Every structure is written in structure tokens, then in C-alpha cells.
Amino acid sequence: MIANRLQARYPFDHVLGITIVGLAIFGLIMISSASVYESYQAYVRQGIDCTALDANCNDFYFWRQVRNILVAIPFGLIAAAIPYLFWRKAAPALFVASILLLIALFIPGLSTGWGTSQSWLTIPILNSVQPVEIAKLGLIFYLARWMEGRKDAIATIENGFIPFAVILGIIVILLILQPDFGSVLVMTLVATAIYFAAGARVKHIVVGGIIAVTLAVLIVNVGGMDYVKNRFAAFIDPSLDPEGIGFQVKQSLIAVGKGGIFGAGLEGSTQRFGYLPEVQSDAIYAATSEAFGFFGSTIVAGFFLLIAYRGFRIAEAVPDRFGQLAAVGLSAVLAGQAFVHIGVNIALLPYTGITLPFVSYGGSSLATSFVIGGILLNISKYANIHSANFYREQNISARQRTQARSHF
């Protein structure tokens, strides 16, 4: 097979690998600083006397994140070792498993909620798992496999747009019912990126976006989802309810403002002391902005742009269409989720709880991020990323030879 023949020719993308490890280390540093107050509260809830002179109640989330990383790294290494064409074979089963796991969230006794969302499955040994993390992989690989042989049909309504909308719609509906609108946005962005890369028409994407927004407005209004309306109201004007629905947005903006250009430093940050809810996960970028300012937080955002760039370079150079579309989707899910998180933290998007890949506290999300990174690294071993036009030039010259022979 093509992938096996090329495996020995190229090393994995070291820039991508170093970026992933660097973000994970930076995440540990941020969590150790930003979660001091939340760690104290967590130890108190466990009945530990944190008033004792020898008590150390500041590292609850730090050590748990260390554990999460130690679990996630082997998953990433295994993903990096498995030839990516394995995921092509596994795509249908993985997509079906994703749907079944999302449906399982609505079975009493299996799921557990957090805030307004019912997004976790309680599983022995693994404790709690977010099915949406598995669904990310299921959707990416299924779309890549489905689209790889439909290059011309993708641009049509009946064989391209409608089937694409149905596949995406199945996942989106199950996420809306939880509800998890942050994941809806990320999955839609990722699926659209694959759809566009596969050859979709821009007008179909625009029309589909208009239809999706219209349906979302109807669902929110007809379904009586008042908290969603309130979040949009707080997004437009956080001062409407600064002690309620607008609290997270307001405090995030305060943290960003306090950071200024170069930041207040890890020890000088004050928003971490109970002002930023879920500071170790949903608000980690706001905490980063306060600690390192506009300069530091822009560098962090730049690392995710670098991940997107390296991923798209890999997609451009990989020799088969499934690998191309899978690389686009994997790159888009990391970068897309990062910029949804960033957009929420700087009030460019309505508040929704979503993690910053590799940086935020979390088990399922961190493991999935490492798996995605590992698969991208595996694909890079089959791609001549130092000359992304290599395969295109080879294909063009082959076509030219064929056309030349046809004249004789």
C-alpha cells in the first residue's frame, strides 16, 4: 500500500510534536498557579483540614493533571504508532459507537451532569468519560472515508450537501439535546472544514450555515431554552446580570484587562482567587492573559495557529485522499476548539464551557487531544512536508504524459 511504502521515507513532524509537548507543559504550569483557590476548596470538600500549619492544599488539580498527562501520553504514542489507514477501516464502527455513546447519555444511571449539561458517562475504572471526545474522531474519520471517493459528487446537492447535512445532523442533534452548544460549534466547524477541503461549493456552505442558524434560533425559542437566551444576552451586554449569567464573561474580561501588555505574572494574578469559575479548565486562557498579558496570550494562540499550519501542510502533502481529509479534520478540531475557547474567554463568542486543548484541566479532553496529535504525527510520516507540492507535481506530470500519448 502507498502508506506502507512511504513510511520509512519521512520522519514525523518534529515541529508539531514539540508544540504539543510544549503546550502540555505550559498547561501544567498554568494549572499549578491558576487553580490554587479551587484546589483549596476541593481539599476542604474532602474533609481535609487546610488550616493546619503543615497542610498543603494548593496542588489538588496540579497532581490530577499530572496523572491525566501520564495517562494521555501512552494513548498519544499508540496513536502515533498505528498506521493511519487503520482509522479508515475503523471509521464506520467508530462512528456508530460515537452515536451509541451519545445516546447512552440519556439513559438514567449512566450519565452525570455538570451545570446545565448532561455530558459525562460514569464508567467503572475510568470514572467519567465524555462521549463527545470519541465522537470527534468518529465524525472526522467517517466523513473522510465517505468523501474520499466522491470528489465530483461532493459539489452537488443530492449526493454532496444533503448526505453531509444528515451525517453532521445526527451528531449535532444529540449534542443539542444534552445540551452542549460549545461542542456543536466545534463539530460544525470541523465538519465544514472537511467538506470544504473535499470540494464543496461555497454557496452550499453559506446556505447551509443560514439554515443551521435559523434552525438553532427556532430550537432555542420553541424548546424554552431560556439559559441559552440569557447567555446571548450576557454576551451582548455582560453588565445586564454581572452577579449571575454575566459573571463568567465579566470576570474573564477583568482578567484580560488586568494583564495589560506583559501581564501581572503568575504570582501577581488575582482573578484566580475565586473570581474566575472553572479557572483551571473553561477560563484557563483568561488566566493566561492576566498572568502573561497580551504578549504572552498571543504567543499561546500562535501555537495553535502553528498546529493548524503544520496540519494543513501535512494534508497537502499526504499521498491519498483519505489522509488529506483526515489531516484537515484533525488539525481543524484542535485549532477550532482552541479558538472557540479563546473567543469565549475574550467575549468574542457567547459563554460555553469548552477546554483549551493540551492546556486545560481534564482527562477525556486531554487524552483525545493527545490521540489526535498522535494520529497527525503518524500521517506526517507518510507526507513529504518539506515539499508539499511534490505529489501534486507528480500527478500533473503523469497527466501530461497521458495527454501527450493520446495525441499519437
pLDDT of amino acid 215:
83
Query: Which grid coordinates belong to 342?
Result: 479563546
Alpha-carbon distance of 354 to 116, in angstroms, equals 13
pLDDT of amino acid 406:
40
Q: What is the pTM of this model?
A: 0.88
pLDDT of amino acid 289:
96
- For the chain, the farthest-separated pair of C-alpha atoms sits apart, in whole angstroms, at 92
Identify the segments of the chain with pLDDT beneath 70: 1-9, 53, 111, 113-118, 123-127, 223-227, 385-408
pLDDT of amino acid 392:
53
pLDDT of amino acid 395:
52
**Edge-to-edge order in the sheet of strand 111-114:** 111-114, 117-123, 127-129
